[in-house]
Chain A
Amino acid sequence: MLEKNINFVEAALKEYYFNNFELIHVPSRTSEREFGYQKFNSGMTRHLTIKNDKDLHFLLMTQMPSDVYCSNACYSFPNLPMSEKDWKEAELIFDIDAKDLKLDCRKNHTCFKCNSCQCINEQSSKCIKCNSDKFDVISVTCQNCISETKKEVQKLVQVLTEDLAINKEKILVYFSGNEGFHVHIENSEYQTLDSRERADLADYIMFNGVIPETLGINRQNNSKMLLPDIGEKGWRGRVAREIFGTKSKRPKIIQEILLGGYSAFQSRLEEMRHTIGVRIDPKVTMDIHRIFRLGGSINSKSGLSKILCKDLENFDPFSDACLLGDEKVEVLANYPISFRLKNKKYGPYVGETISVPKHAAVYMICKGLADVTQ
């Protein structure tokens, strides 16, 4: 990022933190957590310990980080190197990101910034200006992306509460600050699971690795008695509801399944991963040493806040997580696609100098769509 952009965004973030200390807190068991932060154009500083909110706020004011992180794990010695930290346990975490959902709308709000000449392209084959084939992918998030990721969160919450018996009050859903949601589970019996065990749990949530036998379809001697019923709990019930829909259709569909045989049913289950399975990022759930974006902090990929969603259905990240100031700022913008923030439409812009509110300016700069003019 250009120096002038860094100075502007750092100042905006500092102002946000100064005015919103009540939004950013250290988590419980603070002394057992590892903290870390990043600054613009710089690497990660981690293995830090922070005692309380006051120390955290001091760090935000003095270091002016672009991003702040905290471990979901608790350690005996969080500030030592990883091999000496003495891992105790880690909260379960899930990441659902719009970019992993491969939505059709994505091509409508994605463009490609040439690494050589910074020209904005709508295609990623060759730069229209300099013929380079190296690009940064730039995407803003649309309402469809958010509503589809919300659906995945709702599916996740259903599996967590019904199958894993996790109390709803312990499930904290955060907007990630960019293109999706982070789900944190507080104080569950799953905290002591290691990485491999979490990988299998992630597969369960994603409906990965299911075999037809689980649903009552064998290679030989199939019986309709073994097929799942729509009233069953867990994945068998979900599959039954997906396949049969209603009870009246059941006999006909059973006939089709039995006729189709093992391989056809296996393919059908494979397809169902994308419909009934929850599309979490398994790498995040498996990682028991991760430092995860701290709630209340700003995501430097967008300038939006990672914020707790108390009412997911009505949550609008483009208003509710857009918490930087409204003062007008002049920027040079270049983005061929429009986007909305705080109910206002921006763009498309073709190398134009425009005056926009600070939150929109930070958003565009963080996304690489604009530079400050001063």
Chain B
Amino acid sequence: MLQLGIKELAKYPFLAETGDYLRDKGFNLEQLSDPDWKPVVEKAYGRIVVATTGQIYGGDIENPDLEILSFVIGIILLKSAGISTLNRRFSLAEARRAERYLEQGLNALQKDRTILENLKLKEESIQSSLKIIQDLFSIQVEMEDDRLKIRIADYLKRAVHFNEREWKLVNRQVESGYVYLSSHEIVRLVRKELDVYINSKIQSVSVSFIPETFRERVGDLVLLAKKFSTTVIVSSDYPPCVKHAIEVLDKGENLPHSGRFMLATYLLAKGQTVEQIAPLFKNAPDYNERVTKYQLEHIAGSSGKGTKYVCPSCEKLKSENLCFAIPECDGIINPVQFGTRRKTNA
């Protein structure tokens, strides 16, 4: 089994190997309570703050000990604060950060390794990307000439969650049981699972006590979380799927892409403007004002190819686990019919 070097562990500090690293170094919570470690606590706090703004923490792989410890202390701070919104924002940002390294590793695989500088490090980066994708997601990425490929079944299990037509298998290069993909596409396929994995890791950590040197920053995190607790008034005329989507976003949780698409298309169909809809997404863990506006305009048909997207059917939402039907939903086949149909029947 491949042993990850310390620099690789700094890229992926959520792996089980981090526990071995802490044991080998002899770190424990009492020791980290020492005021000497205060700079690392500050770095950990900064890492969380960056995550809550939807940015991706850059870090410094050349200082791997600091990278790993700031992640570990970050989790202790989050667990001490006990606010799930912050946990979710942190796990998503850390997943995005890890994605970059995974992609770099797969990219290196596609290049001629003999001309790579610092060959050993590149090789390690490649192997760690392959190992993580294999170990965490059971996907074996293979190489053919300079192309990356994965088994069709592994592809389908993830790609069906995407709405864009280019992810349909028929729009992929398929040969002899494999789908050929770019490194970016492979990493995109596992994004959701990576987020869930990191979140579950945070959930599984138990903190026996909060060191004194951590308390101030834990308090700051509680204050920070208040920023995300703005209340959104949900109209009673909305169907339950739309209400659910708004509530998820309101809590700062990560609504899947298909849920965001449904919410945007529904509200556009109900006559709301892009400007009216955009603020709903501001609590999303990965919120970016510019990107949100661009995507909403694209869905509304006011930019891009001019295609105006329509709200997905109830059947499609059911298959995506986004349907929360109530008796009032009887007889409708699309959320936009909710209420209208009910009045007609009354």
| A interface with B by C-beta (< 8 Å) | 162-166, 189-190, 192-197, 199-201, 203-204, 207-211, 213-214, 219, 233-236
Partner among B156, B159, B168, B175 whose Cβ is within 8 Å of the Cβ of A233: B175
Residue from the list B160, B166, B174, B177 in contact with A213, Cβ < 8 A: B166
How far does the alpha carbon of A291 sit from the alpha carbon of B104 in the complex, in Å?
47
Cβ-based interface call for B152 (8 A): yes
* Pairs A–B under 8 Å by Cβ, sample size 20: A164-B177, A165-B177, A192-B153, A193-B156, A196-B160, A196-B319, A199-B160, A200-B156, A200-B159, A201-B152, A201-B169, A203-B169, A203-B170, A209-B165, A209-B168, A210-B170, A213-B171, A214-B171, A233-B176, A234-B173
- Residues of chain B with a CB closer than 8 A to A233's CB: 175-176
Interface residues of B in 137-152 (CB under 8 A from A): 151-152
From known contacts A162-B176, A163-B175, A219-B305, infer whether A197 and B160 are also in contact, taking CB-CB under 8 Å: yes
Query: A210 CA to B170 CA in the complex, in Å?
Result: 6
C-alpha gap A219/B156 in the complex (Å): 27
Going nearest first, the 5 A-B pairs with the smallest beta carbon separation are A165-B177, A197-B156, A204-B169, A214-B171, A233-B175
Contact of B171 among A162, A166, A189, A209 (CB under 8 A): A209
| A211 / chain B contacts, CB cutoff of 8 Å | 165-166, 171
A200 to B170, CA, bound (A): 8
Write the residues of chain B forming the contact surface with A, with a CB cutoff of 8 angstroms. 151-153, 156-157, 159-160, 165-166, 168-178, 305, 319
Q: Which of A163, A192, A199, A209 contacts B174 (CB 8 A)?
A: A163
Alpha-carbon separation in the docked complex, A219 to B170 (Å) = 19
- Check A165/B168 contact, CB under 8 A, given A196-B319, A197-B156: no
B159 near A236 with CB under 8 A, answer no
Return chain A residues, CB-CB under 8 Å to B152: 164, 189-190, 201
Residues of A within 8 A of B151 (CB): 189
Question: How long is the Cα–Cα vector from A190 to B171 in the complex, in angstroms?
Answer: 19
Complex Cα distance, B164 from A213, in Å, reads 13
**What A residues does B157 contact at CB under 8 A?**
193-194, 197
CB distance from B45 to the nearest CB of A (A): 42
A213 to B177, CA, bound (A): 22
Q: What distance in Å separates the Cβ of A240 from its nearest Cβ neighbour in chain B?
A: 13
Q: Give Cα A193 to B159, complex, Å.
A: 12
Contacts of B174 in A (CB 8 A): 163-164, 204, 234-235
Chain B residues within 8 Å of A208, by CB:
170
Looking across the interface, which residue of chain B has its beta carbon closest to that of A235? Answer: B170
Of all chain A residues, the one with the shortest Cβ separation from B173 is A234
Which A residues lie within 8 Å of B177 (CB)? 163-166, 189
Bound together, the chains give a CA A297 to CA B134 distance in angstroms of 44
A165 to B177, CA, bound (A): 5
CB contacts (< 8 Å) of B160 on chain A: these are 196-197, 199-200
Given A197-B160, A200-B160, check contact A236 B173 (CB 8 Å).
Answer: yes
Chain B residues closer than 8 Å to A210, beta-carbon distance: 168, 170-171
Residue of A nearest to B176 (CB): A165
Complex contact B170–A207 (CB within 8 A): yes
Chain A contacts of B165 at CB under 8 A? 209, 211
Give complex CA distance A361, B152 in Å: 48
- CA distance in complex: A208, B171 (Å): 10
